[in-house]
């Protein structure tokens, strides 16, 4: 159990709810506060964008091992994420090239028949 007196456990008071934050992460707190100030236009734009980015993150975590760090340290985690992104991009490039090749083969067969 964290020591409440040491400041490791803090309670953030918001307009509607209260959040318990373990540890001291000022960037996360700033991001949460900024998210609370979003306008309806900001929320609409994020909803439009979210389906695309969430799908990519899900694929990276589920199929390419990004759910868990292989090595310790921020630098090693960056390397792992770069390699994961490269693998996903190569997979998509191969699928696009295969589709292009099959399209040309079908066209060639249609013209010869």
Show the beta-strand stretches assigned E in 45-90.
none
d(CA 94, CA 98): 6
* pLDDT score at 23: 63
Averaged pLDDT of the chain: 81
Residue 14: closest CA among 42, 39, 33, 40: 33
Q: Look at the block and give the residue holding tokens 């998210």.
A: 35
Domain boundaries, the chain: 6-37, 40-112
The angle formed by the CA atoms of residues 68, 1 and 27, to the nearest 5 degrees, is: 55
Picking from 24, 19, 31, the residue whose alpha carbon sits closest to that of residue 2 is 24
What confidence tens digit (pLDDT) does each residue in 14-47 have?
555 556 655 667 777 888 888 888 888 888 888 8
Say what the pTM is.
0.55
């Amino acid at each position: 159990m964290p020591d409440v007196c040491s400041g490791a456990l803090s309670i953030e008071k918001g307009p509607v709810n209260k959040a318990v934050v373990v540890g001291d992460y000022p960037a996360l707190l700033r991001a949460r506060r900024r998210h609370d100030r979003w306008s309806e236009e900001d929320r609409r734009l994020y909803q439009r964008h979210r389906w695309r980015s969430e799908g990519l993150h899900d694929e990276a975590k589920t199929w390419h091992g990004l759910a868990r760090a292989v090595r310790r340290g921020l630098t090693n985690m960056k390397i792992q994420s770069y390699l994961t992104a490269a693998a996903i991009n190569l997979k998509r490039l191969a699928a696009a090239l295969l589709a292009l090749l099959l399209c040309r083969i079908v066209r060639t067969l249609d013209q010869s028949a």
